[in-house]
Structures are given as C-alpha cells and as structure tokens.
Structure 1
Amino acid sequence: MDEFEPAILTELIGRIYEAAADSAHWGDFLSLIEQIHPDARLALFAHENGRPSTALSVHKNFPADALRAYVDYYVTNSPHVERAHLAPVGRAIDGEAIIEDRELHTTEHYNDFTRPYRLGYHATGILLERGAGRMTALSIANQQNDPDQRERQRRLFDLLAPHLVRAFRLHRALVTRIAGGEAAQAAFDRWAQAAFVLNAAGRVISFNEAAAALLRSCDGLVLGREGQLLSANEAQTRELELAARKCASLANAAKAEIGASDLDGILLPRPSGRAPLRAMIWPLPFLNGAAAPHFAQGTALLVVFDPDRAQRTPVGWLAKQYRLSPAEERLAGAIINGVPLATAAEQFGIRLSTARQRLKDIQTKTQCRRQIDLVRLALSFPDVRSDEDR
C-alpha cells in the first residue's frame, strides 16, 4: 500500500477529522497506518502530569503486559516523556533527536522495558499538543533501523501534521463548548441548592432552577434591576457584593485556592420570619476564558441553603474519600447540615467533649481547620435533586 497515493492520504485525513468530533475514531486512523506499516508498533498517547491519560490511549501491536508495565511503572522513567518539552509541536522527529542511542542504551527504561518486551526503539514521532501538565504524541516504532522506511514515516507524519494538530484543537474547542453550554446549564439545573454565577461586580450571570424558585418566593433574596442580588437587609446586600469582589480578586490571583477559605457563610434574614438563608461563596478561577458565553465572565459561585428544606447534603462521598469512620460520618453530616455541635452530641447520645474530639479527628483527616471549611469541602459537590423535587 502506497501511503502517498491521493486516495490513501484522503482517507487518512478524513479519519483524522472524524476523530476530532469523536475520539473513538482514532482507532480507525491507527488501523489504516497499521495496514501501511504492519510490523511497527503504533501509539497515540495523551499524558497528564507525566502519567498516561485514560481519556486517550490508542495503540496497535503492543502486548497487553507491556502496556500494563508502562502504565504501572515505566512511564515514570521514560526519557521520551521526560524530555517531551524539547520536541517541537507539529513536526515529525526521530527518537534520536530526543535521546541518542548511546545514552538510551544505558537507561533502565531501555534495558528493563523496551528491550525485554521487544518494542523497538527506532522510532519516529510527532508531538500534537502540549500544555500545562499535558502532552499528546503519536509515535511509530520499528524493530529494525531501515532508513528508507523511517524517511517515509517522517514524510507521512509531516504531511498529516497540520491536520492532526488542527484536529486536537477542534476537539478541545468542541468539548469546551459542550461543557460550557447546554450540557453545563442542564447539570447546573440539577443541583438541589440554589446557585448563582456572579461576575466581578457581584451581578448575576446565570442561575439554576432552584435559584429561580428562591427568587420567585421573594423571601430573603430578590434580583435588582441591574442584576445584583438584594437581601432584605441592606448590610447583607453589601456583604454579598464585597464577597463577590473578593472572589474576583482571588480568581485572578496565581494562588486563588489559598485565600478561598477566608470567605465565610453569610446569613440572609427572611421577611417571612423563617430561619435565615445561609449563603456561601467560592471563587471561580477555572471559568475564565474557557466556558460558554453566559459563564465566561463568572468569578464567583454563590450557593444558598434553606435550613427549612428537607433536602440534606450527603457526605457519603466525603467519608469514602477521607476514610471517615461511621461515627465520624454521622457527626460530619450533622455539622455540614447546620446542626450545632452541642445539639449533635445530644442527638447521638455522646458527651460534648467526645463530639469535640471527634470533630477534631474529622478536621485532621480532611485538612479543614474550621467548621466552615468542612462545610465548603462537602458542598464542593452539591447534591443533585431528584425528579420528584421538580
């Protein structure tokens, strides 16, 4: 098969753009390359922070045990992964340009992995994308160093390079648009708690269905003419605005996560006389420039809790993540849902001193210095309401 025939090139390019829309088609692309070079080992790997990404791992002619060994250990000493920053993006190069054979043959990666598994190291590759903590590369490795074959492989990769790089850019753009558009709003609407996305001035950019219901009640929060949230108490209105501005400064800071825990909950009185609403706010540095238009300028997420609602925030995921004991899980659930420590101790039939010590143990395991930090941690995954709640 002549890979440079127009019909073959057209088929290869077509499969590349099919994969841009659906990553499952990268296997079809590699299958066609395999027909051209049936004895070579082909790999299209994405790496995140030096580890293979499960989101994209496509290969041909690699033994299963070799792949397991690579994922479990040998990726950590791969000179090609370690030196990926030296490779140009979008241009085919030989493996020797990354590490010369003489040096490669002295490495653990070659002697304990490449050679025993007969993977071949006469490789040609192309770096398709590189970003903070991530890189994606396509490689073809041969058992024999055939100069003519490798020249054809370099030539093919160079011809396909503009399409491959563009395909990955298109795919990321599509994923971002989907994640930041209708899919994100649909997920947002499933949250049980009322949630608002605010800009740097404290104006509402977007809100979910639970927030819409809260605004319709006109009991504790209303939406002003300029898009600001107004409390029944002017002091709390100013407090919300100041918190939003603080979130904006944190969102634009290089280490926003350090100061985020300084934003404590805000109590919002209700004209009806019912228990005050409890508002908590987080900075959103991850939305800047990467979300749909109606989220793009968001710098703060405001979540409002109604203590009178039967809906409770589950803490099962937190207990599993931080290995809380059943007793610790129960106490954490009470604290997170607004039950005072003394009341929780009485409910669980334990002394207040025991409850205090148990809370300290929970805080140690979760690395939360204060109760408010524990609440914020638990609510970083707001519970999803059931269809019956709609």
Structure 2
Amino acid sequence: MDGIIERIYGAAVDPAGWQDVIDALGAHYPEGHGTLLNHDLSLGDGSFTVVSSNWHPDWVGKYNQHFARVNPWLRNLPRRPVGLAVPAEYMLDRAELKKSEFFADFLRPQNMVTGIGVTIHQDRERFLAVSYLLPDREDDRVTRDVSLLQQLAPHFRRAMQINHRLERANIEGAAAEMVLDQLATGFILLNAAGRAVFFNRSAERMLHQEDGIHLERDGTVQSLDARLAVCVSRVLEQSDEPAQEVAGALRIARPSGQPAWSVLVVPMIPRMGAIEAMRGMAAILISEEGRKSSVTADLASAFGFSMAEARVLERLVEGRSVTEAAGELQISVGTARVHLRNMFAKLGGGRQSELIRLVLSHPLWMIRRE
C-alpha cells in the first residue's frame, strides 16, 4: 500500500507517473483491466487517459472511438459522490447492463462483467475516475476490492488537485514569460538572497553588454555604482510589506559613454493566495534613457491624467525621483508633488510604488517601443 501511495504523489508532480500508479494498483487486481478515464456528460463522450499494461491496444482504441459513448455505467456518474469507491452495480443493475451493447460487444468478449471505480475529480459535467474492469467474483472479494480503492481515494484526489494547480501555474508562468519578453524594459527577478532567478530578453541583452551593470557568477546583479547593491538590499528587507516610496530608483552611468541606465528596484508583493515562495523577492527594471519613445499621451488617455501629470509619471516609472522629474520638466518640486497627489486622488491610492506598479502592469507599458 505504501508503495502505491508513494507512486500516486510522484504522479502528482509528474503526470507521466500515472501509468506506473495504474500498473502498481493492478497487481492487486491481477484479473482486471485498470484505467484512469475521463468522461464529459454534456458531450456524452470520453476516453481512457491511462490504461494498465495488460490492456490490448485494440480494445483501448475501440473504447475511445465508440464504446465511451455507449458505456451505461457512466451515464449515472452524478449519482456517485466524488471520492466514494463503489462496485459497478452501484451505477447500474447487472441485469440492465447485460441488455446493453457495451456488455455484449465490449465487456463479454474480454470476459469482464463487473468493475469498481472512484471519481477523483469533477468539474461540472466532466469527470475523472480510476476504474478497474473485472470478471465475476464473490461478494466478499468485491468488498475487499472496493475497500482497497477507498483507502487510496483521498490520495488520488489530492494528487489530482496538485496536477491541476501545477498545470495552471505552468500556463500562467509561460504566458507571463512571453509577455515579459516583449518588454523593451529589462526585467530581472531576484530571490530573497538577491540572486537572479529569471530575466527577460531585454535584461539578458543589457547584462551581456557589461556596461555599468552585469551578472556575477553567483547570480547577483552588480554595478560599478555601489548604490545598486544598497537599493537591492533595502528593497529585499521591505519586500513583505508595501513600500511607502520606491526605495530603489536610480540612474547608473555607463563606462561606454552611452546614455545612463534608468533602474528601478521594487519588492514583489504576492497577491492574496499566492504561493509563500514568492515572499521576500524583488525585481529590477532597467531601461535605456532616450531609447523608448514618450508614452505621455498613452498614460494620460489610459488613466485619465492630464498631460502634465502623465509627464511626471512617465519619468517616475523610468526611475527618476520626484526632484529629478521636476528638473527635467523645468517645474518646481512642489508642482511635481501636486501632480503626484492629483494622480493618487484619481486612482484612489496614496503610494508612489503602487502607482508605478499599476503602470508597469498595464498593456501600454508592455508594448516594445524601439
């Protein structure tokens, strides 16, 4: 039993392991044919997702091509509670089964007349179940067969839940990576130790230049400007709580004489329900001054800001401080702060870091502007 449970949780993180699970469980039902099957009642169709090795491929093909649609047991799936292992007769009286095409042309030629099964996942009218088709057997044998499957049912369910969560995470992760690779802004994700665990294509290009910013062999992002290490350390320390101001906004000169890097270091604050591993992480965003065209009008239109407010915001997002933004725009620092307060009022927030994160997550900032 312990060996089967170990295999089940192995399949939780590697779906290819379900084949091993079905085969290992089949050793307890040597006369039976096991399967992990799916069925959609709204379509009236389904298939064997995984089958034990003793199935003949021809019968698997026949089931998936035709007999899934005429399997009378599965019409009654809603009556079987998720996680409850039952004999086939719970689903349909055997006398009724024997009147069916499914029995005459699928079960009887394989010397099968009954079975056991448990639904391990249900999504509206879509069901996923572990099932074993069996020859006729004594009642006490059926009871033992069902009891074993019932003991394993909670583990099957937990493993399938993990499968689905990981699948969603993989899809979301792939989508996020694809979006980040479209950014003209370099994006570097740091773990709690300050080591890079991901960087997009733009960041890879920037780091490869080793022109003011580079990646060390230990995975840390380093610069001739000591302020970067200080900013990263400060932001990682505050990454569990929203920052009042963006602690890591700075400009880094490039030895090549090219325009300076605009650098923004921000804490990664996980959304409600996010995995705990996201806590304590930070991101470095790097842009090349003068390379990206102005998005002032886009910002004004997207968020309902005035052009004056949007001009201040664009510079803050690119890494300038309020004082630096005011200087570039040739306005007083007080005026720049008034624009900032007006933007807070329009969006219902009160933190510069929240304002910048909102802009960075907006599609207009994710369009590559060369």
Provide the TM-score with structure 2 as the length reference. Answer: 0.50
Paired with 1:157 and 1:164, the residues of 2 have a C-alpha distance of: 10
Q: Select which of 80, 83, 96 maps to 2:89.
A: 96
Q: Does 1:187 align with 2:178?
A: yes
Alignment CA distance shift 1:209-1:220 (3 Å): farther
CA contact (8 A) 1:62 1:119 kept: no
* Other-structure match for 1:21: 13
Distance (Å, rounded) in 1 between the aligned partners of 2:14 and 2:69: 29
Q: Secondary structure at the match of 1:79?
A: coil
Change (3 A) 1:238 1:42: same
1:238 shift after superposition: 4.8
User: Does 2:104 correspond to 1:111?
Assistant: yes
1:126 — aligned with what?
118
Name the CA distance, whole Å, in 2 between partners of 1:127 and 1:216: 60
Alignment-derived partner of residue 295 in structure 2: 221
Larger radius of gyration: 2
- Look up the match of 1:12: 4
In structure 1, the partner of 2:154 is 162
| 1:41/1:119 contact within 8 Å kept | no
Aligned mates of 1:85, 1:143 — CA distance in 2: 25
Q: In structure 2, do the counterparts of structure 1 residues 235 and 175 end up closer, same or farther at CA, with 3 Å as the change threshold? A: closer
How many percent of aligned residue pairs carry the same amino acid? 24
Provide the rounded CA distance (Å) in 1 between the counterparts of 2:117 and 2:129.
Answer: 7
- Structure 2 residue runs of 5 or longer lacking an equivalent are 186-199, 203-284, 306-360
Q: Which of 25, 30, 40 is equivalent to 1:33?
A: 25
1:65 aligns with 2:49: no
Deviation at 1:129, TM superposition (A): 0.6
SS at match of 1:43: strand
Between the aligned partners of 2:18 and 2:5, the Cα distance in structure 1 is 11
- Residue by residue over 1:94-113, the C-alpha shift from the partner in whole angstroms, topping out at 9 and shown as x without a partner, is 11111111222222222232
- Root-mean-square deviation (Å): 3.7
Q: Partner amino acid for 2:37?
A: F
Structure 1 unaligned spans of 5+: 1-8, 195-207, 223-229, 240-298, 310-390
Q: Write the deviation string for residues 46-72 of structure 1: whole angstroms up to 9, x where unpaired.
A: 345554468x42334222111111111
For the structure 1 residues 215 and 129, does the alpha-carbon distance in structure 2 shift closer, same or farther, using more than 3 Å as the test?
farther
Q: C-alpha separation between the residues in 2 aligned to 1:84 and 1:38? A: 25
The CA deviation string for residues 78-117 of structure 1, in whole angstroms up to 9 with x for no partner, is: 222322122111111111111111222222222232223x
Question: 5 Å matches for 1:308-387?
Answer: none
Q: What is the distance in 2 between the residues matched to 1:95 and 1:176?
A: 33
Distance 1:46 1:214 in 2: 52
TM-fit CA distance, 1:236: 6.6
2:281 paired residue number: none
Q: TM-score when scaled to structure 1? A: 0.48
Amino acid paired to 1:140: Y
Would you say the 8 A contact 1:119–1:141 is kept in 2? no
Secondary structure at 2:293 match in 1: coil
Provide closer, same or farther for how the CA distance between residues 218 and 193 of structure 1 changes in structure 2, counting only shifts above 3 A.
closer
Q: Is the 8 A contact 1:40 1:143 kept in 2?
A: yes
Say if 2:146 is the partner of 1:79. no
Does the Cα contact within 8 Å between 2:86 and 2:146 map onto a contact in 1? yes
**Partner SS for 1:70:** helix
Residue 222 of structure 2 is aligned to residue 231 of structure 1: no
